[in-house]
Amino acid sequence: MFYKNKIQNPDNRDKFFYRSAIDSALKNNQISAVITIIDYIVKYQNNFVSSFLFLNNFKELMEKGIKLSPLLNS
Threshold 0.75, pTM exceeds? yes
Q: How far apart are CA 65 and CA 8, in angstroms?
A: 31
Give tens-digit pLDDT for 10-59. Answer: 888 899 988 888 988 999 999 999 999 999 988 888 777 778 888 888 99
Tell me the mean pLDDT in the region 56-73: 89
Sign of CA dihedral 58, 61, 46, 2: negative
Host domain of residue 54 = 5-73
pLDDT value at residue 70: 87
Question: Could you give the number of structural domains in the chain?
Answer: 1
SS (H, E, C) the chain: CCCCEEEECCCCCCCEEEECHHHHHHHCCCHHHHHHHHHHHHHHCCCHHHHHHHCCCHHHHHHCCCCCHHHHHC
Q: How far apart are CA 25 and CA 29, in angstroms?
A: 6
pLDDT value at residue 1: 64
